[in-house]
Amino acid sequence: MKKINLFLVFFTLICAFFTIMTELDKGIVVILKDSSIIFTLTLPYILRKFFKLDISDTFTFIWIIFIFLAHYLGVTAELYFKIPGFDKVTHTMSGVLSACAAYLLLKNKKINDTFFNILFIISFSFMCAGMWEIFEFTCNALVGGDAQRVAETGVDDTMWDIIVAFFGSTMFIIYVLLKGKLKSK
């Protein structure tokens, strides 16, 4: 799995590099936006190395696929604007991933209160979705653009992004509950 993950990281970085090279004439904002994939793609490795977090290869694999879809295809290749609903699919996946991350945090703490665990996972997922939307808003305010599509949809796009992330985290919770992984002792 580690070799597959490394291959996917290098593949995505090479794709991003070639895309960036073709957009050099579009200005520094576009180059920075496309280059930020380096940080997002390598985040599990950074967290593992500097914060000593136990991040599984499976979670890293899912993260890399998510970043390829959301960041490279969505942002860099601009599929968010070309394929209707692509944005909602990636935000649903972000809900699943943030719920999985919350679950991994709980697993390390060995908290056996089912209600608390569900509440923590949902809250963590809402926090991640909200922080992402705040990040998008801040970037728009600082460098221009309309990643939240405010001009087109008002707050609808932002609210639906948060709602589908919640749906993704709820799907993850149901899955974990069915597997019996969140039961109180």
Are residue 70 and residue 92 in the same domain, yes or no? no
Structure tokens that stand for 45 in this block:
């490795």
Q: How far is CA 35 from CA 15, 20, 32, 112, 170, in A?
A: 11, 7, 5, 41, 32
For residues 104 and 125, what is the distance between their CA atoms, to the nearest angstrom?
A: 13
Are residue 171 and residue 90 in the same domain, yes or no? yes
Model-level pTM? 0.80
Are residue 113 and residue 133 in the same domain, yes or no? yes
pLDDT in tens, the chain (185 residues): 889 999 999 998 898 888 888 877 777 767 777 778 888 888 888 888 888 778 888 889 988 998 899 888 988 788 988 999 999 999 999 999 999 989 888 887 778 889 999 999 999 999 999 998 888 788 777 777 766 666 677 788 889 999 999 999 999 999 999 998 776 55
Residue ending a domain, choose from 33, 58, 83: 83
Are residue 111 and residue 66 in the same domain, yes or no? no
Three-state DSSP class for residue 131? helix
Number of structural domains (the chain) is 2
Residue ending a domain, choose from 34, 52, 83: 83
CA neighbor of 39 nearest in space, from 13, 19, 15, 58: 13
Are residue 58 and residue 113 in the same domain, yes or no? no
Domain that holds residue 30: 1-83
Are residue 145 and residue 116 in the same domain, yes or no? yes
The whole-number pLDDT of residue 33 equals: 73
CA neighbor of 73 nearest in space, from 150, 11, 144, 7: 11
Are residue 15 and residue 92 in the same domain, yes or no? no
Q: How far is CA 65 from CA 74, 97, 175, 178, 185, in A?
A: 12, 11, 20, 25, 35
Are residue 79 and residue 156 in the same domain, yes or no? no
